[in-house]
Amino acid sequence: MGKKILIVEDNDDDLFIIKRYLSGAGYNEVVVARDVKEGLDKAEQEKPDLVISDTLLPDGNGFEVCQRVRQKHGAENPKIIIMTGSIDAVDAVKARKMGADDYCAKTSDCGIIMDAVKKLI
């Protein structure tokens, strides 16, 4: 498959689960960032095909990651998925306006996220 994925996520448990499902589906090239700053740095250095970012991050939020990746790398690539695990933080309209390709809820089986990944890359 050879597609590179960058996950921006600060929660260890969520990160572990997503990585497991991704590798189960054959996506083995996974890079991890723990906050907005690291996410933007890695997006620059690693040139991923897809960025999956959590909404709430220690130094900001996923919308910021999305907006700044789009400003720097254009509207097409990388593809971006914003995910959320908190009902309070659900805002797909904002994600779309910032340039996200998809928006989904984090679930314990990662079903929705995996579907979105397969559709985008």
**Using alpha carbons only, how large is the chain's radius of gyration in Å?**
13
Q: What is the distance, to the nearest Å, from the Cα of residue 83 to the centroid of all Cα atoms in its chain? A: 7
Among residues 51, 92, 115, 121, the one that binds other proteins under rule CB under 8 A? 92
Window 96-115: contact mask with other proteins (x via CB under 8 A): xx----xxxxxxx---x---
Residue 105 CB burial class (10 angstroms; 0-12, 13-18, ≥19): middle
| Binding residues for other proteins restricted to 55-84, rule: CB under 8 A | 84
Q: Specify the residue, 71 or 86, whose C-beta has the smaller distance to other proteins.
A: 86
- Tell me the C-alpha distance between 119 and 102, whole Å: 10
Q: What is the distance, to the nearest Å, from the Cα of residue 49 to the centroid of all Cα atoms in its chain? A: 11
Least distance (Å) between residue 107 CB and other proteins: 6
Window 28-57: contact mask with other proteins (x via CB under 8 A): ------------------------------
Least distance (Å) between residue 1 CB and other proteins: 26
